[in-house]
Chains A and B, each alone.
Chain A
Amino acid sequence: MANRVQDALYDSEATLRLLDSELGTLGPMAKASPRNSSSALSSLPLILEAANREIASILSNLRKDKSQLQTAAVERLQHTHSKLEEVNSATETAASGILDSLDRAQGYLDTMDADSMSDVGAGDTKSAELRDAMRNELFAITEALQFQDITSQQIRYAANVLVELEEKLMSVMHLIDITGIDDPLATLHDSERGTYDPNATTKNREVRQHVADEVFTADAPPA
């Protein structure tokens, strides 16, 4: 499909170059002699008509390929966009489920703490230490779940790139009179596209925090 489009563009360019060349020869001929000028000008409509037939034929072939263009390019973009939305939704659901489990686990630990308060004995110190260690592990898992916020922004950025690609593709298709894309991504409202930081990343947190602390220390107004 890409080759056919490329071939069509090459053919169009070749036709236009030929037209340019033919038109270029008319000028000197016209200057050389008035008689040549009138015969040169009389052939101009024929040249233009030939070029027009050529280009019309190329455009006609492109229009015939409309359905292939729609399937190969636009529908794939829309399908990929849909998949990215699905990934975002799935990770949010999974992260929420993990947080629910963490809340329950925390609750069990609190119950065990309360139960152990009524027990007497040195052995309870080890149990208390284990429960504290367990809490720290649960806390570490909670902290790690922040990946979901970062990845969802990165995915929304990628999804927005697809929307922009579709817009550009539709502009090209409109130029060659291909219309009728079903449910274009470009009609998605901003609220459906979601907000995101295009630079969202999990990398270099310490460096970024250091920059922020520097600014707030250096530039903050006196208390």
Chain B
Amino acid sequence: MILVIEDDPVLARVMSASLKRRALAHVIAVTGAEGHERAGRTPPDLIICDLGLPDIGGLALIALLRKLPRMSGVPIIVCTGDASRETVQGALAAGATDYIAKPIDLLLFEERVLKAMRAQRAVSA
């Protein structure tokens, strides 16, 4: 199961359409708090996270997610418009494992998601 944390409703549906194309089960959380709660309840196989959330900064959220039980090895892909070197390095330091610049190239998005899922399944096996 993939957890998508994205507050923009249109973009969330765009990502959802892309994941459905690949038959990838997923849920959408619209706030950092909701994403954190869902991940804590049922650790996902992959998290896709926006940095501009209404209730918490994305980097702070990633750091919090990493502290949840059974979340230390879960891949986290950041999707955001801010791809300054500083922010990207911050995301990496917080625990992100990949970074996709918005507007998302959906073919690249699918490729990176599938790669992360394959790696996660290999680790879980």
* A residues apposed to B, CB below 8 Å: 92, 95-96, 99, 102-103, 139, 142-143, 145-150, 152-153, 191, 194-197, 199-202, 205, 208-209, 211-213, 215-216, 219-220
Contacts and interface: CB of A to CB of B under 8 A. Distances in A.
A101 to B, nearest CB: 12
Contacts, number: 102
Highest count of chain B CB atoms <10 Å: which of A96, A194, A216: A216
Contact of B88 (A103, A149, A211): A211
Contact of A209 (B18, B89, B97, B105): B105
B88 A148 contact: no
A89 to B, nearest CB: 12
Interface in B57-114: 80-85, 88-89, 92, 97-106, 108
Interface residues of B, number: 33
A139 B16 CA distance: 12
Contacts of B13: 96, 99
19 contacts: A92-B9, A99-B14, A139-B17, A139-B106, A142-B106, A143-B14, A143-B104, A145-B10, A146-B10, A146-B14, A149-B10, A150-B102, A197-B52, A199-B84, A205-B101, A209-B83, A209-B100, A212-B83, A215-B89
A209 B11 contact: no
Nearest to A135: B21
A9 B105 CA distance: 54
B88 A215 contact: yes
B33 interface: no
B88 A212 contact: yes
Nearest to B87: A212
A201 B10 contact: no
A153 B102 CA distance: 12
Contacts of A213: 99
Contacts of B34: none
A99 B10 contact: yes
B91 to A, nearest CB: 8
Nearest to A213: B99
A200 to B, nearest CB: 5
Which 10 A-B pairs have CB atoms at the shortest separation, nearest pair first? A208-B83, A212-B99, A208-B101, A146-B103, A149-B11, A215-B88, A209-B101, A95-B10, A149-B8, A148-B10
B85 to A, nearest CB: 6
Interface in B1-27: 7-11, 13-14, 17-18, 21
Given A197-B81, A212-B99, A96 B10 contact: yes
Contact of B103 (A150, A194, A195): A150
B17 A99 contact: yes
Contacts of A199: 81-82, 84
Nearest to B92: A219
Given A142-B106, A149-B8, A211 B85 contact: yes
A153 B52 contact: yes
Contact of A205 (B53, B85, B89, B103): B103
Contacts of A95: 10
A76 B52 CA distance: 29
B73 to A, nearest CB: 10
Nearest to A212: B99
Contacts of A194: 54
